[in-house]
Amino acid sequence: MWLVMTAILLVLPDQIDRWMDLTVARAIGWGVAGAVWVVAIERQWQARMGALARFPLQVLLWVSSALVAMWLSDQFRL
């Protein structure tokens, strides 16, 4: 799921930045990727671990995904 989230954060903003600022496009990408994460993963994680364990792990995964996607986007931007 981390790879899917990273792919969304990489592809979506680069596709819609023609019509808006890249920062806004990345925020929209973050919203879409977060929604996909919640639909696909959140209920399973809630059943397996408590909020205090889940929160820092999710923040780590989400931030690392966003940073990797931004780095890749900046590396391959034409």
Task: Give 21-52 pLDDT, tens digit per residue.
Answer: 888 988 999 899 989 988 888 888 888 988 89
Tally of CA atoms within 13 A in the half-sphere of 20 that contains its CB: 11
pLDDT at 77 > cutoff 80: no
Please choose, from the candidates 5, 39, 10, the residue with its C-alpha nearest in 3D space to the C-alpha of residue 26.
10
Angle, CA 23 vertex, CA 19 and CA 26 arms, to 5°:
85
Of all residues in the chain, the percent with pLDDT exceeding 70 is 97
Residue-level pLDDT at 56: 92
Residue-level pLDDT at 78: 46
Indicate the number of domains in the chain. 1
Q: At what angle do helices 51-76 and 22-37 cross, to 10 degrees?
A: 140
Domain of 10 in residue numbering reads as 2-76
